[in-house]
Amino acid sequence: MMESTMKEVRGGDSVLETKSMVGGDVEDDYGEDRATEDQLVTPWAFFVASGYSLLRDPRYNKGLAFSEDERDAHYLRGLLPPAISSQQLQEKKLMINVRQYQLPLQKYMALMELQERNERLFYKLLVDNVEEMLPIVYTPTVGEACQKYGSIFRRPQGLFISLKEKGKIVEVLKNWPERVIQVIVVTDGERILGLGDLGCQCLPVTIDVGTNNEQLLKDEFYIGLRQKRATGQEYSDLLHEFMCAVKQNYGEKVLIQFEDFANHNAFDLLEKYRRTHPVFNDDIQGTAAVVLAGVVSALKSLGGTLADHTFLFLGAGEAGTGIAELIALEMSKQAKVPVEETRKRIWLVDTKGLIVNSRKDTLQHFKKPWAHEHEPIKDLLNAIKAIKPTILIGSSGVGRTFTRDVIEAMSSINETPVIMALSNPTSQSECTAEEAYTWSKGKAIFASGSPFNPLQYNGKEFVPGQANNAYIFPGLGLGLIISGAIRVHDEILLAAAEGLAGQVTQENVEKGLIYPPFKNIRNISAHIAAQVAAKAYDLGLASQLPRPEDLVKYAKSCMYSPVYQNYR
């Protein structure tokens, strides 16, 4: 409410004198609240790690776990209840609370709120309960979170770089509070999981060039640029400015992980920057490494070498062609024959059918290496009957495309068919675990991109594998950091895949598993990191000298610990 009176001033002029009503009919006589409305003010903040500000700093806050001495030393008396809790007890209480939520998105939001107030407790909870929590903070729930991010947005946790920041990206990066950056995950949000263009609604570094998603453009809660996606030179210029700014701000060795870029940009960006920056694309190379590891593990049951088997893919985008290329490279390495020869063991089906030589003139450049001599085939089922693959891999992003006829055809050709339904989230999976095991009459070795629960068939328990990129990128990133790698060559991706496959025990194989239990992910990641670092040293790409004697031990010593620290 505003109350107005006319006040006569010198010269006979009149001005409008206002008094602000700040609520409850209380007048703002001194103009303090009006100052925030009518004039610029300075947003002062005091960053002293003590007292009230300490309890509001998620990096250092321990809640009720502050000791008596810490409460005295850091002016916390009276700001906390008198009880003192251990981190373990805090974790127990939080797990009870999280498990009470019925919807996965509610659990996701509860965990994000925890991260915003107590980082170490958040990561401790994840580390100790990784198999239960991973489907919440990662696929499939994170897909729903990205779709609804504008509605559940509370406070920013990443960096948003849009077309508005063109010409100022160096300054934008300096706004981030940390100065020592070793890994950056960046996306333009155009191809999130199998969900398509989600614009600005994903993290941690988002390059916002607009969105072609009409639903988001009409959404009043959408947090990104409300315009169609920039393309061509405008897009390239912004990405190039970002890549140069990263190197200028953080140095030559900062690792850049491209995530969820659409096909037409993903391949071009990887090819453009892999010779000037340490970069890798998780959808092309990370997925490829984890799938190759699963295939190598499956050979322990199937027998033979990679070159003894035939592969058929449904989906020829960045994931499908990336997986195919890494399998071909590993096959070439094992058989000591040119990769052009090993590619002939690998066939791909896209939306127009089997990729064959007669289609070569109309194919995108990344599909052309997979065009082999064969008559055209329009559908997957007939491709299976003609090619007779041992291993069927789905990366189509289209759910329920591995039909009963498809699985039964694979089972009639193979004693032990390998079925990998990799598309995320669960709704986009080419088939479910239950369908794979039931339609194959329990013969299949199955793995998927999103998690499926163990199930019983004919009195036998089957535990589906999850070809989860989270097996690869933490260990890959750690290995590149501890070695100071200046580039990411294909041999390094092969080393990561071999490191993961090496963690699959004979006991796992006997249970039908082609991946190790995810509860051991920190130990798995340490071994992958050691393999990656060793390959970087062998290739002369490592800058961190001297080389540690025990790379596994060194990798473990470099890992983050979420246990509370004691304060002086």
Helix, strand, or coil here: 276?
coil
Please give the pLDDT value at position 89. 98
According to DSSP, the residues that pair with 354 across neighbouring strands are 349
> Is 469 within any annotated ligand binding site?
no
Q: What per-residue confidence (pLDDT) applies to 41?
A: 47
Q: Report how far residue 450's alpha carbon sits from residue 464's, in angstroms, rounded to the nearest whole number.
A: 10
- The 8-class DSSP code of residue 368 comes to G
Lookup: tokens for 224: 């990104």
Pick from 366, 412, 406: which is nearest to 420 by CA? 406
Do the beta carbons of residue 224 and residue 209 sit within 8 Å? no
Q: Give 123-168 as a 3 state SS string.
A: HHHHHHCHHHHHHHHCCCHHHHHHHCHHHHCCCCCCEEEEHHHCCC
Look at residue 484 in the predicted model and tell me its pLDDT: 97
**Stretches in the chain below the pLDDT threshold 70:** 1-49, 194, 203
Three-class secondary structure of residue 7 per DSSP: strand
- Per-residue confidence (pLDDT) for residue 240, from 0 to 100: 98
Q: What percent of the chain has pLDDT over 70?
A: 91
Residue 359 annotated as binding? no
pTM above 0.85, yes or no: yes
SS3 assignment, position 328:
helix
SS3 state of residue 97 = helix
What is the pLDDT at residue 11? 44
What pLDDT is attached to residue 39? 64
- Residue 38 has what pLDDT? 57
Contact 464, 449 (CB under 8 A): no
Q: What is the pLDDT of residues 22-69, one digit of tens each?
A: 444 555 454 444 544 556 645 455 455 689 999 999 999 999 999 999
Assign residue 394 a region: left if phi > 0, alpha if psi is -120 to 50, beta otherwise? beta
How confident is the model at residue 443, as a pLDDT? Answer: 95
Quick check: bond before 546 cis, omega within 30?
Answer: yes
Tell me if 125 sits within 8 A of 177, measured CB to CB. no
Token pair of 250 as six digits: 């953080």
Q: Which residue, among 125, 295, 279, has the nearest Cα to 269 in the 3D structure?
A: 279
User: Taking the CB of residue 166, how many other CB atoms lie within 10 A of it?
Assistant: 15
pLDDT at residue 25 in the model: 52
What gap in Å lies between CA 328 and CA 269, rounded to an integer? 22
Tell me if 155 is assigned to a ligand binding site. Answer: no
pLDDT at 3: 38
113 is in an annotated binding site: no
| Spatial separation of the C-alpha atoms in residues 385 and 383, rounded to whole Å | 5
Which residue's structure tokens are 């060795």?
A: 253
The single-letter code of the amino acid at 356 is V
pLDDT of residue 48: 55
Q: What are phi and psi of 480, to 5 degrees?
A: -70, -35
Question: Where do we find the tokens 């329009």?
Answer: 378
Q: How far apart are CA 528 and CA 194, in angstroms?
A: 27
Is 191 annotated in a binding site? The answer is yes
97 among the known binding-site residues? no
Answer whether 503's CB lies under 8 Å from 524's CB. Answer: yes
Write out the DSSP string of 394-459: E-SS-TT-S-HHHHHHHHHH-SS-EEEE--SSGGG-SS-HHHHHHHTTT--EEEESS----EEETT
Q: What is the largest CA-CA distance in the chain?
A: 102
